[in-house]
Amino acid sequence: MSAIDTLRTRAVEYFRGLQDRICEGLSALDGHRFREDTWDREGGGGGRSRVLENGGIFEKAGVNFSEVFGEMDPQFAKQIPGEGTRFTAAGVSLVLHPRSPLVPTVHANFRFLTKGEAAWFGGGGDLTPYYPFREDVVHFHKTWKAVCDRHASVADHATMKKDCDEYFHLKHRNEARGVGGIFFDYLGTKGQDLEAIFAFVRDAGDAFLPSYAPIVERRHGLSWTPEQRAFQEYRRGRYVEFNLVYDRGTIFGLKTNGRTESILMSLPPVVRYVYDYHPPAGTPEAELTDYWLKPRDWASV
């Protein structure tokens, strides 16, 4: 077995365990359990999709594990590092949509891919609040910065934070999806130490619950109004737009004949589209885009 194959085996084992640990932590927060849906992919591999719906806190929460392999479409393969069309991909991806508009939506994913002789890690975590609290935004960013600082030889926080702000940007609206976090991709394709990168990825995966659970604990019991709920549903539309137009995981999954139901698990259960909506100036709803969705160095606040 080659060194890359050995690393892939270890990564798969870690990702499978990470899904277990995250689901256990979220179930403890919510008071309800995830249901599991195992599936096989035509062409090679499969996965475990775990979904919690209509829970105590989460209106819809999905945590996916997948391990797939096979052949890429030749045209799509040209856009991916490495020679040929043969690929492997394994990882964990999650999106959590709380019912309360005062609890932010969150996304994270961690993955390992190979194609030809190329191998790399990707992933990150980002926060999408509707009514942000400074304490929460700062906590989220400082958690990820601490992870990067522990692995500074392969994880530059300033770069990953900037890449996150740029990646989760809806170009057609010139608007950020949320307040960011970190984002990295193709980490390892430029000769970086894959073992050091894997150590960083494990630390980052283990940091997800500490980055988010304290926010949920602080906010889920706060009262909210129907008007705030309506605004949350409206802003969820931006999540739909990004995931269907720009998200690399969605595109990769669909282009490699992945399981559609699991790929689109990230979409919120209830969304509101209002034609040409503009919140009144000076309101918290207007402040979201006027202030909070502008890139800032939140980890240094």
Note the pLDDT of residue 93.
96
pTM of this structure: 0.95
Model confidence pLDDT, tens digit, residues 291-301: 999 999 999 98
The model's confidence at residue 262, banded by pLDDT at 50, 70 and 90, is confident
User: Can you tell me the distance from the alpha carbon of 106 to that of 125, in angstroms, rounded to the nearest whole number?
Assistant: 8
**DSSP code, position 276:** T
Model confidence pLDDT, tens digit, residues 180-223: 999 999 999 999 999 999 999 999 999 999 999 999 999 999 99
- Say yes or no to pLDDT of 249 above 90: no
CA torsion sign for 181, 48, 245, 122 is positive
Phi then psi dihedrals of residue 159, to 5 deg: -70, -45
More confidently predicted of 74 and 97: 97
Note the pLDDT of residue 210.
98
Domains defined along the chain, listed by start: 3-300 (3.40.1500.10)
Tokens standing for residue 226: 């129907």
Model confidence pLDDT, tens digit, residues 27-80: 999 999 999 999 999 889 999 999 999 999 999 999 999 999 999 889 999 989
Note the pLDDT of residue 162.
98
Taking residues 247-251, what's their average pLDDT? Answer: 89
SS3 of residue 42 by DSSP: coil
Note the pLDDT of residue 37.
94
Selected catalytic residue, list 32, 97, 107, 172: 107
Taking residues 226-248, what's their average pLDDT? Answer: 96
The percent of residues above 70 in pLDDT, for the chain, comes to 100
Any catalytic annotation for residue 107? yes
Where on the phi/psi map is residue 115: left (φ > 0), alpha (ψ -120 to 50), or beta?
A: beta
